[in-house]
Amino acid sequence: MNRQKHNAFTLIELLIVVAILSILALIAVPNFLMAAQRADRSACAAHLKTLGIALLSYKVDYNHFPLADGVAGAEPSPGRTELGNGPAAGGSWDGAPRSLVALRYITGDAALFCPACKKKYKGRTQNFRYAYNSSARDTFGHLGGEDHIDRVDGAFWLARCIWVPVERSFYPQGGYVYPHGDEQNENGRVENDCMENVLMSDGRVHLRNGHRDFYKAYGLPYAP
């Protein structure tokens, strides 16, 4: 009687395979997360550039930037405000104007949102539109900081992912962070979750430490 020989993994071989897969996962997962973060950052910059073209086109037509939206939601709310329900920074700041969609300067509202924030804060999306510098002199705004916030080569910021750090928001327990990763300073110290994309009034987009920018703009002591 012939007996068939069955090949099978031994316990040691299985453990070796599991160990190898675990090592590969430890290598692959951080790389995947970094690649996803870079993709979100690039998509965000593209949205801000689209928003910048729309804002600058509006300014050419009307000789000023559009009014900010002051209330979260799917409709324009220029000149209005609702404490704690703003369109940006978790409800704590004015948002990029939806009038740009209504007037067809942009098609759809995708360019009004940071893709990373939109993914991370599902269910709260309407409070995480791009923050808009409604305090700039020619937006006719009345809230926020001065119109020379973060001037770079004569430009001021127009829109950015978050702006207000959570500890300075209406909801300090809100649990949001800046969307585009960490910054390592010249001393090798890492500040976590502090980076955001920023649209300047000259149409350029910069990756900046939003946490530090906010504290510097208002003359607050900054200790990351």
pLDDT in tens, 155-189: 788 999 999 999 999 999 888 999 999 998 777 88
DSSP helix/strand/coil, 129: strand
Q: Does 150 score more than 60 pLDDT?
A: no
User: pLDDT: is 75 or 25 the higher one?
Assistant: 75
Give residue 8's pLDDT. 65
Q: Which two tokens stand for residue 217?
A: 């703009």
pLDDT of residue 133: 87
- 189 inside domain: yes
pTM for the full predicted model: 0.79
Query: Is a pLDDT exceeding 90 seen at residue 126?
Result: yes
**Polymer length of the chain:** 224
Structural domain includes residue 223 = no
Residue 20: is its pLDDT beyond 90? no
pLDDT interval class at 147 (50, 70, 90)? very low
Q: How confident is the model at residue 32 (pLDDT cuts 50, 70, 90)?
A: low
Q: Give the residues across from 200 on adjacent strands.
A: 157
- How many domains is the chain partitioned into structurally? 1
* 51, 106 Cβ separation under 8 angstroms: yes
Answer yes or no: is pLDDT of 149 > 50: no
Share above pLDDT 90 across residues of the chain, in percent, rounded to a whole number: 54
Residue 90 included in any domain: yes
Q: Which amino acid is at 141?
A: G
Question: pLDDT tens for residues 131-140?
Answer: 998 754 444 4
- Tell me the average pLDDT across 81-107: 94
Which residues, at least 6 apart from 217, have a Cβ–Cβ distance to it below 8 Å? 145, 146, 149, 150
**Any domain includes 1:** no
Six-digit token string for 168: 């300075």
pLDDT band for position 99 (50/70/90)? very high
Q: Is the pLDDT of residue 142 over 60?
A: no
Question: Which residues constitute the domain of residue 75?
Answer: 11-217
Question: Is 6's pLDDT higher than 50?
Answer: yes
pLDDT value for 140? 44
Burial track 64-80 (b if 16+ CB lie within 10 A, e otherwise): ebbbbbbbbeeebbbee
At 48 the three-state DSSP class reads helix
N-to-C CA span, the chain: 77
Integer Cα distance of 18 and 57 in angstroms = 58
Indicate whether 121 belongs to any domain.
yes
Whether 163 is in a domain gets the answer: yes
Whole-angstrom distance, CA of residue 69 vs CA of residue 125: 15
Residue 80's pLDDT band (cuts 50, 70, 90): confident
Report whether 85 contacts 71 (CB < 8 A). yes
Query: What is the C-alpha separation between 210 and 133, in angstroms, rounded?
Result: 14
Tokens describing residue 144:
């926020």
Contacts of 10 (CB under 8 A, 6+ apart): none
Which helix (H) or strand (E) segment is 186 a member of? none
- The lowest-confidence range among 22-36, 47-61, 108-122 is 22-36
